[in-house]
Structure 1
């Protein structure tokens, strides 16, 4: 390692694409992380603002003088038209001010000139996020998103691109974007909706499943095929053909399975562990990834919770630290990957409650976990707010809405009255890890990125129309209070899980601050908001 490399101890890494984010890496470990939308309250907000940099530095207890190197990721080369489509602007005018020299080797930021790296390969830094946070000494690392499908070999602290032109035939990722835009007006917010709608397009029981012929190689042909057997679903007064969603989901599942099948033998031939790390926005498609994994030679699977572009800042910093600078790998616990470092103090909670005191009833409760479990068994829908917020798009028990999974009417109630979203959207279970195999056949899905069939009856609110659930497995070391809540619910009902969805409403980012959580309570039909030691309700309107 050169003397210059030895001087790099602290790295600032920024993602300028949609899902803007930044991480401060100190001695190879994240000391602070921000996802811009959580603070701006503008969904998919690209880049980083001045206030967000201040927040990041404050989390890490650092100043710009501490920064030795800056990674500028996806700068002007990954722009999505969806941001402007959603917000009427690309939002670049909100970015912090900086200047990069002509050689892309130095950035000027707030009067300081700091060495930098501009636009490390997009799929490489996706893959790095998953690989460098995995427990594997060697692994295949695959990054799939709308811009491509790339594979890398991870060995020790290095990542090497695999010479496979997967993009020559892998096109379901692009097709998924087209279907998302056609049905929901946006690929970056519509892809998850397409995945939820797809089972409604499956042929009825007993009907033949028409295969997707090889002649379907473009979007127009796919639409024509879907129109032969339309299965309309009313969504906000529009008739959407769920068959189209079904076929593009089927295409993605088969193409991902083909990628896994092609990569598996490469591991055996090159003495690489039969491990696979997945990243990129397409890795959020839990149905496709699980089917591909189960049908492959791989035996272990790892994700980072921030599979999308919100994780690329983390991946770029880790890649520079390990691959470029040559520093050894480090081990991570699940909570380090799942949650940020900003836990809001009691003073911030009190300010939020005092600001809305006229509209709230606040009950101080010693056994607030037991009381919450009682409320859930009685049918209450509860906002659950604990500690630092989740990294990535999934609520993992710190910024959650929880409910009784036994109630067959709960899904419709949540979609229509609380989340204000499409009626067909499913909800996930958070299940005690020690009981998960009995219910779902797997016990290792801490980041809610794996799907499995529901093996027992009795939880219709978290069972999708195709009989599957995308589940989170919960252990006490990962999130003690949430684990205790689920155990308390299990003690009362015999059901070792709760319905879990993110603490927000349609179009809103996940709640970050106590103020965000209180506003979610007031703006929806949540029955209660629970914070440690408190159960908060809306004050009844006076006659």
Structure 2
């Protein structure tokens, strides 16, 4: 049994029990295993951890429970999202693994093993830790914003200390955003991204000049938006895009003010001009990017899992560095972008064999070139490679890819494949060397920055306001994906492809080869590309 001394704790298990359930095994300060529960349960936003997920995690790391020296139980029963029951008819706690915590919250019993534990470290601290400890900065301001509040921390070396400021007394747009998402789409955790996509449709001449400073309640914001509505038809419903525009403007204004305040505070504290962002609101790239650009900060870092799935890794890193005092380590992009589980050729073949009557498989040497040909010819392909992404964005391992030049591609993807609202945009994956030329920024590997599209010719990834949420791709981060984009550029002159997640409506992102094949069949993709394989749906009546 570990004594609890820093040199006795080598392996840490951390679990997030709120929505976007996740767990990490940290071994000697490095991620040895990581699971997001929904990817394996196939239940979107699944909270907590199941027995099967713990077994998967230990198997990834090549460890047993006896190797675990400390456990962090995060967001346990103290902040349950009501959206889970709304989405699934249950809080899903009945699916969790069995564990017991003693009355002092000092030890947890899992499978009969008593392990020292920490229960419910401060929520925003865990968000802030995920972005600070994975950043390249020795010092930084780390900001965590989500519907529960806005907090800032000063990071220096291995320590992360709270900044004692009451931002919640005036930073309220994060909460207002939830109200708007619930009113428009029935859920805050599912609807927030939709509000962001709808917001520019509610902008018109004069709308950006409307004074929002006196608005303090949701009903006041709704009344203001109803005075000059911008109706957008979605199925049999009519949404007022003006409401989405106003709440986005409110968030923009408050982010500007927040970053403007934090810059001088950091300078006085001897903190470098470095900003780390986390929490669900960090996914609102429309607001964070201009606020960062207008601030005194010069560099910015995100952790790809900005939501509560990232709190598991944040907790483990916080305990390793801040509590135990271990020095910081560098984290390459690939370690932050992608999980641990790889699927061998046998697993791929098993998935293909399972659906052999529904698919045809072509083995090809130059699958990257063939994929580029398919995309340039108008096909929509699934792209499956390596370990799955960490966080909600497809980053070139579990992606649906298409031609950004097509003026009809966005509508086809939204209506026929993703089965989602027509106004929602798609992202470009662009070679990092060409990103500044096309978007004015570079180094956005996690698809968490937005920028204006500076050149014509890519309507499928250009939102109605002329911007895009871009992923920049370097060959050292993802060789095959980079080579695909380069091959597409060789054929078309355009150094990017349209990239969205490999799933369809109501589904988490594909994890396994079986998930990828099912997405090919259910979503109506033209092809699924795996290393050295091109898979397509078999036409009815054709021979095996």
TM-score normalized with structure 2 length? 0.98
Query: Which residue does 1:188 correspond to in 2?
Result: 189
| Distance across 2 between alignment mates of 1:416 and 1:391 | 27
Change (3 A) 1:214 1:3: closer
Alpha-carbon deviations, 1:418-451, whole Å to 9, x = none?
1111111100000000000000001110000000
Alpha-carbon deviations, 1:58-107, whole Å to 9, x = none?
00000000000000000001101000000000000000000000000000
Query: Which residue does 1:527 correspond to in 2?
Result: 526
Decide whether the 8 Å contact of 2:107 with 2:114 is kept in 1.
Answer: yes
Query: Which residue does 1:154 correspond to in 2?
Result: 155
Decide whether the 8 Å contact of 1:71 with 1:316 is kept in 2.
Answer: yes
| Distance across 2 between alignment mates of 1:179 and 1:512 | 31
Alignment of 1:396-415 (within 5 A): 396-415=395-414
Change (3 A) 1:349 1:228: same
Instruction: Tell me the CA shift for residue 342 of structure 1.
Output: 0.7
Query: Which residue does 1:241 correspond to in 2?
Result: 240
Alignment of 1:187-206 (within 5 A): 187-203=188-204, 206=205
Decide whether the 8 Å contact of 2:309 with 2:391 is kept in 1.
Answer: yes
Alpha-carbon deviations, 1:437-481, whole Å to 9, x = none?
000001110000000000000000000000000000000000000
Query: Which residue does 1:297 correspond to in 2?
Result: 296
> How many residues matched?
540
Query: Which residue does 1:102 correspond to in 2?
Result: 103
Instruction: Tell me the CA shift for residue 341 of structure 1.
Output: 1.0
Query: Which residue does 1:378 correspond to in 2?
Result: 377
| Distance across 1 between alignment mates of 2:320 and 2:207 | 53
Decide whether the 8 Å contact of 1:212 with 1:247 is kept in 2.
Answer: no
Alpha-carbon deviations, 1:234-274, whole Å to 9, x = none?
11210000000000000001101111000000111111100
Task: Say yes or no: does 1:444 pair with 2:433.
Answer: no
Query: Which residue does 1:129 correspond to in 2?
Result: 130
Decide whether the 8 Å contact of 2:212 with 2:250 is kept in 1.
Answer: no
Instruction: Tell me the CA shift for residue 524 of structure 1.
Output: 1.3
SS in 2 for 1:357: coil
Instruction: Tell me the CA shift for residue 343 of structure 1.
Output: 0.9
Instruction: Tell me the CA shift for residue 215 of structure 1.
Output: 1.8
Query: Which residue does 1:263 correspond to in 2?
Result: 262
Instruction: Tell me the CA shift for residue 213 of structure 1.
Output: 3.0
| Distance across 2 between alignment mates of 1:3 and 1:130 | 26
Query: Which residue does 1:67 correspond to in 2?
Result: 68
Instruction: Tell me the CA shift for residue 4 of structure 1.
Output: 2.3
Q: Which runs of 5+ in 1 are unaligned?
A: none
Alignment of 1:130-529 (within 5 A): 130-203=131-204, 206-207=205-206, 209-529=208-528
Decide whether the 8 Å contact of 2:4 with 2:116 is kept in 1.
Answer: no
Q: Which runs of 5+ in 2 are unaligned?
A: none
Instruction: Tell me the CA shift for residue 189 of structure 1.
Output: 0.4
| Distance across 2 between alignment mates of 1:3 and 1:424 | 53
SS in 2 for 1:247: helix
Instruction: Tell me the CA shift for residue 541 of structure 1.
Output: 1.1
Decide whether the 8 Å contact of 1:12 with 1:67 is kept in 2.
Answer: yes
Alpha-carbon deviations, 1:26-73, whole Å to 9, x = none?
001110000000000000000000000000000000000000000000
Query: Which residue does 1:47 correspond to in 2?
Result: 48
Instruction: Tell me the CA shift for residue 208 of structure 1.
Output: 5.5
Across the aligned residues of Structure 1 and Structure 2, the Cα RMSD in angstroms comes to 0.9
Instruction: Tell me the CA shift for residue 3 of structure 1.
Output: 6.8
| Distance across 1 between alignment mates of 2:517 and 2:50 | 24
Alpha-carbon deviations, 1:393-435, whole Å to 9, x = none?
0000000000000001000000011111111110000000000
SS in 2 for 1:472: strand
| Distance across 2 between alignment mates of 1:351 and 1:380 | 26
Alpha-carbon deviations, 1:297-326, whole Å to 9, x = none?
000000000000000000000000000000
| Distance across 2 between alignment mates of 1:242 and 1:3 | 54
Change (3 A) 1:208 1:320: closer
Task: Say yes or no: does 1:26 pair with 2:27.
Answer: yes
